[in-house]
Every structure is written in structure tokens, then in C-alpha cells.
Amino acid sequence: MVYYPAKRAEGLRDGTLKLLFEEDIRKCWEEYSEQVGMEMATSTRFFIEALNEITDKKPVVVRMMGTNEREGMLMLGRAGVGTYSDMESAAREAIRLSGGSAR
């Protein structure tokens, strides 16, 4: 959903987010349950909570470092996600977006 901001905005506006991303959500669920095991996937709310985080209208700030950092930052940047390679900058931006103030 993060990679398709216009489609996400349309779904939020029209109340069709689940329908628009149904196939993507299904694929994510399959991959998630394969990685953590079906018992863990079905006995916890982690997947649902993560999905709720993504579908919320809250801004996202990502601190990214490591393999393919540049490519990941470019991809997320095109989706309107603020990316930072150091924790201090990411934290300052998160505080700014939340309306708080850094000390």
C-alpha cells in the first residue's frame, strides 16, 4: 500500500481499501504465515496490527541502513515515505510530524 499512495488515498476516501488491495494483502499473509509458521500467525494479532498501521493515515518515517540502503530509500521516497540513514535525523522528523518538540 505504501508503494501506491494514490491508490491508497482513493481506497481511504471511498472506503474500498480492502477491496483495492485484497490480492496484495493475501500475498502478504501467505508470506508472513510461511515465515513465522501458521500457529504463530493465527494465534497472535501481529499481522492485523501491522496492517492497521499501514492503512492508518499516520505519516511514516523510516531509518534505513545496510544492504541495498540506497535503493530502498529511493523506492520509499517515491512513495512519499521519509527515509533517513541515521537515527537522530529520523527521530527528529518523527517528533516534528507528531507535533512534538525535540529537546
Whether 71 and 93 have beta carbons less than 8 Å apart is answered as no
Residue 35 confidence (pLDDT): 92
Q: Are strands 61-63 and 82-84 parallel, antiparallel or unpaired?
A: parallel
pLDDT digits (tens, 9 = 90+) for 47-91: 887 877 777 666 677 888 888 888 888 877 777 777 888 889 888
The interaxial angle of helices 46-55 and 22-36, nearest 10 deg, is 150
Whether 72 and 83 have beta carbons less than 8 Å apart is answered as yes
pLDDT digits (tens, 9 = 90+) for 10-55: 887 887 887 888 888 888 889 988 999 888 888 888 888 787 777 7
Residue 99 has pLDDT above 80, yes or no: no
Q: What is the DSSP letter of 82?
A: E
- Is pTM beyond 0.85? Reply is no
Beta-ladder partners of 64 = none
Phi, psi of 81 (to 5 degrees): -95, 130
